[in-house]
Amino acid sequence: MERSHSASYAAAGVDIEAGYEGVRLMREHVARTMIPGVVSDIGGFGGLFAPDLAGMREPVLVSGTDGVGTKIRIAQLLGKHDTVGIDCVAMCVNDIICCGAQPLFFLDYIAIGKNDPHTVATLVSGVAEGCVQAGCALIGGETAEHPGIMAPEDYDLAGFSVGVVDKCKILDHNAMQPGDVILALPSSGIHSNGYSLVRKVFDVEHADLGMYSDELGKTLGEALLEPTKIYVKPVLACLKAADVRGVSHITGGGFYENIPRCLPDGLTAKIEGAAIQTPPIFHMLQKQGSIPQRDMFNTYNMGVGMTVIVARDDADKALAALHAEGCDAYAIGEIVKGEERVIVC
């Protein structure tokens, strides 16, 4: 079959043939994500998925969308493009599991100044890895070449995921009460938020990102590019094992913005700051940027990528389920009566 080609479009900066090559190169990565329910192959106008709703009385679809933000600039400076796709998936699926939903599928969107098939395929390899970690399928996406709008080597990456939960199993935050325990699910580092401040503090455009740091135990570039943890499997296991009353994904806005999203009125999340296991990159960032402690907790996850609030009597069962999934969760506080939404003491 003769392929589409437009010399006029190519002269304007859009290489259709490069797009075809990108699709060819990414196929092997997409194949890794295939799970029961996938109906279509990549290349169609829409991704098709037939969910197995057996056993659900009232299925509810849950969706989430996000991007990687300016963390992408770190990847571009390092010429390492195989991990930001994990971030993209994580930012979406970690959101939708906060109500108890199982992610089903994911679609990505790549905007790039000049379509380099190998860069695009490498980006998709990261997306595919994220989907594998989340147990969902990559069923489609889009690559858009933006000559004249973006520099040739620039790109941006975003996506969205759809999951499903039985309506009767959507987390009921109103069941929360004083004495409930707040569990911390450790982060891998900064994850994908606050990178405009990160780039300013570390002056990444001029810094030696490849220099080894004894404090970090790795290079600064490696620490900044560490991909976001995906918490789908540990959280789903925890939901089955314990009475979970609230889950929060600690993203932009840190503790003070995200934990209150699951708190009923009249209750406060009391966090023991000394209990938090904070990775060295946050200490380095705070010291070098002279950032107040409150601002750190209001911008970053500080080592806690997600919080899970459970009934006190179920705390041990919740921790056991999380540990069994390889998540080194631990307690950092409790729910108390109060009007202040979050207290870090």
Question: Which CATH number covers residue 281?
Answer: 3.90.650.10
181 and 283 inside one domain: yes
Q: Residue 232: inside a domain, yes or no?
A: yes
122 and 187 inside one domain: no
197 and 314 inside one domain: yes
Q: Give the per-residue pLDDT at 226.
A: 97
Query: What backbone phi and psi angles, to 5 degrees, belong to 319?
Result: -65, -40
As given in the structure block, the two tokens for residue 286 are 């705070």
Q: What is d(CA 96, CA 248) in angstroms, rounded to the nearest whole number?
A: 10
The residue count of the chain comes to 345
Q: Is the dihedral of CA 215, 219, 224, 229 positive or negative?
A: negative
Q: What is the pLDDT tens value at each position of the chain, 345 positions in all?
A: 445 656 655 655 655 666 656 677 678 887 888 889 899 777 678 889 999 999 999 999 999 999 999 999 999 999 999 999 999 999 999 999 999 999 999 999 999 999 998 999 999 999 999 999 999 999 999 999 999 999 999 999 999 999 999 999 999 999 999 999 999 999 999 999 999 999 999 999 999 999 999 999 999 999 999 999 999 999 999 999 999 999 999 999 999 999 999 999 999 999 999 999 999 999 999 999 999 999 999 999 999 999 999 999 999 999 999 999 999 999 999 999 998 999 999
Starting at the edge strand found earlier in the chain, the sheet holding 181-186 runs 244-249, 304-310, 181-186, 330-337, 267-271, 342-344
191 and 319 inside one domain: yes
As given in the structure block, the two tokens for residue 79 are 């010429």
What are the beta bridge partners of residue 88?
A: none
180 and 327 inside one domain: yes
Give yes or no for a contact between 142 and 127, defined as CB atoms under 8 angstroms apart: no
Q: Give the per-residue pLDDT at 43.
A: 67
pTM for the full model?
0.92
Which CA distances in Å does 176 have to 37, 249, 304? 35, 17, 21
Q: What is d(CA 258, CA 262) in angstroms, rounded to the nearest whole number?
A: 8
256 and 178 inside one domain: yes
Q: Give the per-residue pLDDT at 209.
A: 95
Q: What is d(CA 218, CA 305) in angstroms, rounded to the nearest whole number?
A: 21
Q: Residue 251: inside a domain, yes or no?
A: yes
128 and 207 inside one domain: no
Q: Residue 1: inside a domain, yes or no?
A: no
Q: Residue 162 is inside which H or E element, if any?
A: strand 155-166
Instruction: Kindly report the CATH number assigned to the domain that includes residue 155.
Output: 3.30.1330.10
35 and 179 inside one domain: no
146 and 213 inside one domain: no
Q: Residue 13: inside a domain, yes or no?
A: yes
Q: What is d(CA 22, CA 130) in angstroms, rounded to the nearest whole number?
A: 19
Give yes or no for a contact between 66 and 159, defined as CB atoms under 8 angstroms apart: yes
Q: Residue 301: inside a domain, yes or no?
A: yes
As given in the structure block, the two tokens for residue 331 are 């307690």
Decide: helix, strand or coil at residue 209.
Answer: coil
The domain boundary, picked from 169, 199, 227, lies at: 169
| Neighbouring C-beta atoms of residue 73, cutoff 10 Å | 18
Bridging pattern class, strands 137-145 and 102-112: parallel
DSSP code of residue 260:
G
Q: How many domains does the chain have?
A: 2
Q: Residue 195: inside a domain, yes or no?
A: yes
The domain boundary, picked from 119, 138, 169, lies at: 169
Residue 69 neighbours by CB under 8 Å, 6+ apart: 192, 193, 195, 196
Q: Residue 22: inside a domain, yes or no?
A: yes
Structural domain of 30: 7-169
The domain boundary, picked from 137, 169, 201, lies at: 169
Q: Residue 2: inside a domain, yes or no?
A: no
Q: Give the per-residue pLDDT at 31.
A: 85
164 and 224 inside one domain: no
Q: What is d(CA 229, CA 304) in angstroms, rounded to the nearest whole number?
A: 10
26 and 85 inside one domain: yes
43 and 154 inside one domain: yes
Q: Which residue has the tokens 């009934």?
A: 311
Q: Angle, nearest 10°, between helix axes 117-134 and 84-96?
A: 30
